[in-house]
Amino acid sequence: MKHLHIVDASWFIFRSFHAIPPLNREDGTPVNAVFGYINLLMKLLEDLKPDHVAITFDAGRKTFRNDIYAAYKANRSEPPEELIPQFALIRDATRAFNLDCIEVSGFEADDL
């Protein structure tokens, strides 16, 4: 039987960012979330050996839920400044694994 694993990249990213101490490239760019994300992804691929993997990303802050309930996640703060430049690096790392970055406007990663 073939196995498809759908990964909520946001969960991997935020878990990694908060679990890994600050880590920067030589140019000062923070990469602790990138490091943790890659390690989690490699562990998933090695341990579970899925036939197919879908990596889903949040496509912005406004979702269909905001249309239903305007206060949805209204109190959630913006991502930490040190995390913001890592989002693009994580998408690049995902593609380096030959995996697609799936995101749909108006949806969170765990909706897909």
pLDDT digits (tens, 9 = 90+) for 81-110: 999 999 999 999 999 999 999 998 888 887
List residues bridging with 6 in a β-sheet. Answer: 54
Q: Report pLDDT digits (tens) over 40-63.
A: 999 999 999 999 999 999 887 777
In this structure, the number of other CB atoms found within 10 A of the CB of residue 83 comes to: 19
List residues bridging with 102 in a β-sheet. Answer: 56
Q: What is the set of domains in the chain, with CATH numbers? A: 4-111 (3.40.50.1010)
pTM listed for this prediction: 0.88
* C-beta of residue 87 within 8 angstroms of C-beta of residue 58: no
What gap in Å lies between CA 103 and CA 8, rounded to an integer?
Answer: 10
| C-alpha closest to that of 83 among 33, 41, 37 | 33
